[in-house]
Copies of this chain bind each other. A is one copy, B any other.
Amino acid sequence: MVKQERAVRTRENLIRSAAEVFEREGYALASLTAISSQAGVSNGALHFHFASKEELAREVEGAAAEVVQKMAESCRDSADTLLHSLADATCRLLDTVAGDPLVRAGFRLGRDPSRKSGEGGLWRWWCAWVQDLVSQAQEKGELAQGVSPEDAAAAIVAATAGFEVLGTWNRDWLSGERATRFWSLLLPLLAAPP
């Protein structure tokens, strides 16, 4: 039992370490040796848990997805309108990307040009989640007349992705406050008059 617990903790530790090394080096240059050494375990211990760098990358993406999906669902349940849920979720997403290396690496792995198998990763999920909420907002009559739900969703998804990318070299772009100001601009345009 104690042994099992220790294995679980080592595994989680390796996933967190992988996230930090992927963020620092990019996917191509991240080495399994750097990851195991960052986690303070042997190469053998790493290989006991993960067969390859790609498997580690998928685990990082999976763990990041769990964090942000939970966060997004809690925003959906707590705001008074779906558009407010979306605004909350965007702000909390950017704060989480700024503050949590695991989530940051999760999104970044999906857009790393040296990782052939990335194909969007978490960005695909975010895109689908936003599209779903915007079309529900439209069905509920929350969207202003004449606003295309597709275009509204595209603007929200693109701006979020842009803030994350621009935040790679300038952390000022990466904050909930930035997203709040984006929403202050956009919300009066999207929301139907109450």
Q: Give the number of copies in the complex.
A: 2
| A186 and B188 alpha carbons, distance in the complex (Å) | 11
Produce 1/0 per residue, A138-165, CB < 8 A to B. 0000000001100110110111111101
A62, CB-defined interface residue at 8 Å: no
Q: Within the complex, which residue of B29, B127, B159, B165 is in contact with A111, where a contact is CB–CB below 8 Å?
A: B165
A166-B127, A189-B189 known; A29+B114 contact, CB < 8 A: yes
A47, CB-defined interface residue at 8 Å: no
Q: Within the complex, which residue of B154, B173, B188 is in contact with A158, where a contact is CB–CB below 8 Å?
A: B173
Q: Within the complex, which residue of B112, B119, B165, B181 is in contact with A162, where a contact is CB–CB below 8 Å?
A: B165
Residues of B within 8 A of A115 (CB): 26
A113, CB-defined interface residue at 8 Å: yes
Residues of B within 8 A of A114 (CB): 25-29, 112-114
Interface size class of A (residues with CB under 8 A): 35 or more
Distance between A47 CB and nearest chain B CB, rounded to angstroms: 23
CB-nearest residue of chain B to A108: B113
Residues of B within 8 A of A147 (CB): 185
25 CB contacts below 8 A, A to B, read A22-B113, A26-B26, A26-B28, A26-B113, A27-B114, A29-B114, A112-B112, A112-B114, A118-B169, A119-B169, A120-B168, A123-B166, A148-B185, A151-B181, A151-B184, A152-B185, A155-B182, A155-B186, A157-B166, A158-B160, A159-B159, A161-B166, A162-B163, A162-B165, A165-B165
